[in-house]
Each structure stands twice: as structure tokens, then as C-alpha cells.
Amino acid sequence: MMEKEPVRVLQIIGIVCGGGVEAVIMNYYRHINRNKIQFDFVVDGYEKTALDDEIKSLGGRVYHVEPYKKNIFRYMSQIYHIIRDNHYDIVHSNMNTLSVFSLFPAWLAGAHQRILHNHSTAVRSEGMRSVMKMVLRPFAPLFANRYAACSRLAGDWMYGKKMMASGKVTVINNAIDLDEYAFSQELRGKYRHELNIPDDEFVVGHVGRFMYQKNHAFLIDVFREVARQNPKAILMLVGDGELRPEIEKKVAAYNLTDKVRFLGLRKDVKQLYNCMDVFVLPSWYEGLPVVSVEAQANGLICFFSNNVTYESNLTKSTNFLSLESGADVWAKKILAVLPYRNNLARAELSVTGFDIDCAVQNLCSWYISANKGK
């Protein structure tokens, strides 16, 4: 008897830049039963990405398309032909409000299941980016017939509280492999040695793309006060993005260049958490950041802005602070932390639905039910 082909799901993820959305999708992809479900990917840009080789090694395909920012009509046309020519029945768009530009061609191409997955929210202070989100939000669900969000907050923002209450929206947790992110004293020593960080230095850590949402400017203000009071403090910034040069200038203006480590994009982020003593995420807005789960899984004391959904409060290690309270208050709270790791983090997270082994089974069943319902 011939073995049944897996259901192929087309994941539309946009630009590959080391962000949280692609991290979440790859977490699921690495753990899903690929004999039943196989992921293929649409990514912006024609250059090879850091994910291409791994995706292909796992049996997936990668389609490179015109970035939507350059030519939205060519972008839509290419997606249409990918779906039509390869007969995709399930299209999963992770482009938030921009999903209208992928789900419309998916509808035209005859995809039976068109999933809108929202991973974010917005704030008015982001300027034209916020305006565009608000303009596109009513159109994003028009060509979808299945709906998902990374948290209730992200779901409320995209679909409204009434639709969330109806049960029509599925919350797909930003789950991770808890064992991979567990704290290791051995890795702490190894990485501190490689990065030339003495054992007695106090490491404030952050992982995130350099963009308005992540609020690096405020983080630098906080760290300046931390460093003023603790000369052995350093700031570890993991990630890259369009605002990095601006933040580097601010660090230099504060005479903190020797205390702030810009590590760029890394493939070993899960190991780098072991170097940190606290984790800080002062975002202007979030859906439910996967880094918040990763940092807690490592047992780190975490400081989140209260713009980060309280659904991120998964362990006893979290603290939520208002950005309006100012950098001095944040610094005071951070400096009050004693050397500590939450050894119960895995047990606490295992019952929250953020363990990838359980979450991936739910996602697999969701896709299969979608395929049966076509």
C-alpha cells in the first residue's frame, strides 16, 4: 500500500529577519509530525535566507517572492501562481493586517482553507505604521475563513472581543521546547568565557529586532541608570534591525560603548539566555512575544512593560512595569534582583500550554480538521 502524502500547508511569513514570528513557526515545524503535515514557505526577497537550508532538509519548499514593499501587485501575482500551480488547499498567512494581500490571491487561486494568524497589536505613537495597520485591519479577515491569534489580546485587537467570545478564533500558543531553554550552569560558564564576561558581572539581557515596537531607546535609558549604580553591569542586545545604528549612537552619546554588547543575529539565542541575570522587554506593544516564554523557561527574572499582554505571566519570575513610571523606577527594580534562577520554571510552564510537544499535537489536529472540511 502506498504511503499517504502529508497535507502541505503554505506558510506565508514575509521577510526573514530573525523575528519572533518566524521563530514560532519554525518551532512548530521542527516538532510537527511531518509524515502528516508538511510546511512550505513564502518569504519576501530573492536572496537565500538563514532558514532555507533547514526548511529543505525537513522536506519543505521555499518560494522567494517580490517584497510587498517594492511591488505589491507583483507580490500578489506571485502568491496567486504559487498556490494555483501547486494546488495548495491550506494557506496560513502570518502577516497580521498585511494578510489581505496574501489571502486575496489565495481566495482567487482556489485555496479552500485560508488562515489569518495575528501575532501583534498596535499603538498610535508609531506614526504611519500604526495608520496603515488601522486602515488594513478591517480588510485583513475578508478573504480568510479560519482565524488564529497568538494571544487573546492579539485576537481582541484584530477580530474584536465579540468574535473572540464566539469561539471562532483559535489561540495558537507561542510554544517552545522547554528542555532546550532550560538553564545550564555549564553553558553559562562556556558562553561567558567566550564573550569575555567575568562571573561577577551583572548582565541585563534583551532579545529583539531593532524596531520601534521593542523600545530600545527606553531600554538604553534604563541601563544608563543601572550602570551608574552598578559599575559591573553590562547590557547584552541580541538582534538586528533598521534602528540599530540609531541605538548605537545613543549608546555612544551616553559613554556606554564598553558596557553594551551588540551581538546581532544569532543562531544560539537559547544558549545566550544562560549568560543573562535578568531579562528586560520594554515594548510599546506585543501580541505575545516568544522571547518572553524563552526567558522564563531559562528561569530568568523578567521585566516586561505593561503593554506586553498579561498572558505572558506564565511563571513566578515575571514583573510588569509601566513605561510612564520612568527609567529610574525600572532601574531600581532591576537592581533589587538578587542572583537567582527559577528552578521550577519548567514545571510551571509545562501546565500552561506552552510546551511544544503538546501544542504541536493540537496544531496538527487543527490542520487535519481543516483539510477534512474542505
Task: Give the bridge partners for 355, in sequence order.
Answer: 176
Residues 140 and 202 in one domain: no
Tell me which residue of 67, 76, 92 sits closest to 14, measured CA to CA.
67
Residues 276 and 148 in one domain: no
Please state the domain count of the chain: 2
pLDDT, residue 3, reads 62
Instruction: Kindly state whether residue 168 falls inside one of the protein's structural domains.
Output: yes
Instruction: Kindly state whether residue 343 falls inside one of the protein's structural domains.
Output: yes
Instruction: Kindly state whether residue 266 falls inside one of the protein's structural domains.
Output: yes
CATH code for position 214: 3.40.50.2000
Residues 22 and 143 in one domain: yes
Distances in Å between the Cα of 292 and the Cα atoms of 61, 175, 188 are: 30, 11, 19
Residues 158 and 182 in one domain: no
Instruction: Kindly state whether residue 312 falls inside one of the protein's structural domains.
Output: yes
- CA trace torsion 162, 306, 259, 268 (10° rounding): -40
Residues 337 and 219 in one domain: yes
pLDDT, residue 1, reads 45
The residue range of the domain holding 138 is 7-175+355-372
Task: List the pLDDT tens digit at each of the 374 positions of the chain.
Answer: 456 889 999 999 998 877 788 999 999 999 999 999 999 999 999 999 989 999 999 999 999 999 999 999 999 999 999 999 999 999 999 999 999 999 999 999 999 999 999 998 887 777 788 888 899 999 999 999 999 999 999 999 999 999 999 999 999 999 999 999 999 999 999 999 999 999 999 999 999 999 999 999 999 999 999 999 999 999 999 999 999 999 999 999 999 999 999 999 998 999 999 999 999 999 999 989 999 999 999 999 999 999 999 999 999 999 999 999 999 999 999 999 988 899 999 999 999 999 999 999 999 999 988 666 55
- Cα 208 to Cα 217: distance, rounded to the nearest angstrom: 13
Instruction: Kindly state whether residue 99 falls inside one of the protein's structural domains.
Output: yes
Angle, CA 272 vertex, CA 269 and CA 274 arms, to 5° = 130
The model's pTM is 0.91
- Cα 265 to Cα 269: distance, rounded to the nearest angstrom: 9
Instruction: Kindly state whether residue 225 falls inside one of the protein's structural domains.
Output: yes
Residues 159 and 22 in one domain: yes
Residues 222 and 261 in one domain: yes
Q: Answer whether 60's CB lies under 8 Å from 41's CB.
A: yes
- Cα 152 to Cα 150: distance, rounded to the nearest angstrom: 7
Instruction: Kindly state whether residue 307 falls inside one of the protein's structural domains.
Output: yes
Which sign does the torsion angle of CA 184, 331, 214, 124 carry?
A: positive
DSSP 140-160: TTTT-SEEEESSHHHHHHHH-
Residues 307 and 193 in one domain: yes
Residues 344 and 255 in one domain: yes
Residues 158 and 200 in one domain: no
Residues 148 and 171 in one domain: yes
Residues 251 and 103 in one domain: no
Instruction: Kindly state whether residue 251 falls inside one of the protein's structural domains.
Output: yes
